[in-house]
Chain A
């Protein structure tokens, strides 16, 4: 149903399928851990989405490409520019 919902074309039991399936299984383990951290109703929920068949490394390589330059600690002074 994941492949159908997110229009994934890799064939069952092909090499890519097996790799994606492993990523998917790892994702479900992550979800269980992340969801266990808080039961507060407003707390974040984690689960299957379109990124679930990506490895964490693939995900970072595709989507997490920003770098931060060190910013000075806010001094509370009025800074117009």
Chain B
């Protein structure tokens, strides 16, 4: 494994988004993973519709919350193609699902894996390098006050409540850390990113991690 790896260096990570006052992080993490894997596969990096997942993933609850795994299960089972963000833009509220014909251009999920990597964060690094950015669930209660730097302490992993996109890692310094894209805009954290210490499952980062296959 390289000592540091960042999918942003390969221009396959879309810009940081802002979910605004809507509990849609679960949709942003899934769509973020799909966008990156699609670009890693050679397609131009294009932003896909988060609103489509928010409105149509019926096992989830739109702005009232959801699970990335349930969204991925829905995408895999229905073969729904996510259309470009420009065709179905984000509104920060749950709406009526828009349906598109199967011939309409879009990106579909073929499969996904979901694992608990707690105690195996090096294997998680391997998954990241092999399969692209990973959708992960964390405990982000203390992130309300976060300004920047590497989170090492006081980020319990008892209660998962937020979904994010792991885009890289850096083990070259004193404190090895994950590079994680959040969906609270670029004015939060490190221009929209948060750094979490690798090892010890800080914030529960390794508890529930999904890789996407298109």
Query: A-side interface residues toward B, CB under 8 Å?
Result: 27, 30-31, 33-34, 37-38, 40, 42-47, 49-52, 54, 56, 59-60, 62-74, 76, 79-81
Contacts and interface: CB of A to CB of B under 8 A. Distances in A.
A63 B123 contact: no
Contacts of A79: 113, 115
A73 B137 CA distance: 15
Given A44-B150, A65-B23, A72-B116, 18 more contacts: A43-B150, A44-B151, A46-B146, A49-B147, A51-B145, A59-B144, A63-B162, A63-B184, A65-B161, A66-B26, A66-B163, A67-B66, A67-B161, A68-B207, A71-B210, A74-B117, A74-B120, A74-B124
A47 B145 contact: yes
B36 interface: no
B213 A81 contact: yes
Contacts of A80: 213
B112 interface: yes
8 contacts: A33-B154, A44-B150, A45-B147, A63-B25, A63-B162, A63-B184, A67-B161, A69-B67
A46 B120 contact: no
A65 B25 contact: yes
Q: How large is the interface on B (under 10, 10 to 19, 20 to 34, 35 or more residues)?
A: 35 or more
The 4 closest A-B pairs by CB, nearest first: A65-B23, A65-B65, A81-B111, A64-B161
A68 B147 contact: no
Nearest to B204: A68
A69 B69 contact: yes
B65 A40 contact: no
B119 to A, nearest CB: 8
Nearest to B21: A62
Contacts of A62: 21, 23
